[in-house]
Amino acid sequence: MRKKRAYRASDIKKVVLSKVLESGPAGAVTVGLDIGKLEIFAVVRWSDGTFERPWKVQNPSEIGWLVQLLRNMAGERPMMVAMESTGTYGDALRQTLTDVALDIQRVGGKAASDYAEIFDGVPSKHDGKDAAIVAELAALGKSWPWPYQSKVKSDAEMAYWADWLDAQQSIQMLWIGRLESLLARHWPEVTRLLDLTSVTLLRTLVHYGGPAKLAQDSAATSRLVEWGRRPLTTAKIEKVLQSAKETFGVRQSVQDVKRIQQYAASALSAYRETQKARRKLEGLAQGNEVIERQAKAIVRRWLYFAAMRATRDPDVRRWYEAKKARDGDRGKGALIGVARRLALALYGVAVRDEPFEAWRLFPGRSQVRRSLQTIQKVTRVEASKV
């Protein structure tokens, strides 16, 4: 390939295979593919390390032209086809190439990116060059077989539910985010009492649409008891009802009430779908030792991340720094210690409906200090009465 206009592409329908083969030396051929949503670029690399100009293929309407051309070429020379591992736009082509028994190789996306400047001395990347880089790396043995394979039934079902779970979690967080801004305007107190993902809160918002109607309902207490996954304590229900009656939130219009009801209903629907997907995945994972081990590893991973975040709290930070100092300025053991206490705290939150408070992870001096603060507060109140 000559340097001047080396990457100018030719329409795949105008390529004449006999002329292409005449222009190149004998020996094996490697074809690199760069896959885009609308176009595919193919570059032929000859055995002596030279290249043909790129061929441009419309994706997917001209896949048949490309595959037929490659089949004909494979009938004349030993040939392999290489493509990057990124994206799904190439799956249709990859399946078709596999169906006609062509040798398909995979080149890592990072390897192709890293090789850009080595290839021609210029770090820039574009479609024709990318296809040539893929062909070059494959010819140098930097690829591995990648025929298209359909998932077995169990794997396909698990992939379906995992994808559905991920999508519904994103949808749920979208509506929760919108609800948060509305409640900050119309009922800011309630989010200090109930988490925004609370089923009780979501069902309350769906039914009442805000604090005013809840405060007026004589049957509100019994409804709140029934609506949660776990019944709220009497004290918590009383606080929620009191906040509805005494809220400093902006008064709602009819449209404001309707908006909160719709957002809450959408969030609740997405939550129920996530629960359904989780149950399906748990059932599919039973008996699969590999997946069960991965699930445990994922739990530990997120606990570890949560521990890192928890160390920002001053009460946790003091214990973490002291433990780190005792370990010779190594923080891993201290983070594991925080993670273990977080696991215990999660049990208290889930089973006993206790509020999470970071200082309770390491009571000690924090407990003493908070007790003193409580005593001082009571003393000031009593003094004000005198």
Question: What is the pLDDT tens value at each position of the chain, 386 positions in all?
Answer: 544 456 788 999 999 999 999 989 999 999 999 999 999 999 999 999 999 999 999 999 999 999 999 999 999 999 999 999 877 899 999 999 999 999 999 999 888 888 988 888 887 777 789 999 999 999 999 999 999 988 788 778 888 988 898 899 999 999 999 999 999 999 999 999 999 989 999 999 999 999 999 999 999 999 999 987 778 889 999 999 999 999 999 999 999 999 999 999 999 999 999 999 989 988 887 776 656 665 566 667 677 778 888 888 888 888 888 888 888 777 888 888 888 888 887 766 666 666 677 777 876 554 445 544 554 554 555 555 54
What tokens does 14 get?
A: 């105008």
What tokens does 114 get?
A: 């890293």
The span from the CA of 12 to the CA of 30, in Å, is 17
User: How high is the pLDDT of residue 347?
Assistant: 67
User: How high is the pLDDT of residue 281?
Assistant: 86
- Within 63-126, strands assigned E span 79-84, 104-107
Instruction: Show the domains of the chain with their CATH numbers.
Output: 10-145 (3.30.420.40), 155-285 (1.10.287.4070), 289-385 (no CATH)
Contacts of 318 (CB under 8 A, 6+ apart): 362, 365, 366
Which contacts qualify for 263-267: CB closer than 8 Å, 24 or more apart? Answer: 263/175, 263/178, 263/179, 263/182, 263/205, 264/175, 264/179, 264/202, 264/203, 264/205, 264/206, 265/206, 266/171, 266/175, 267/172, 267/175, 267/176, 267/179, 267/197, 267/202
Contacts of 266 (CB under 8 A, 6+ apart): 171, 175
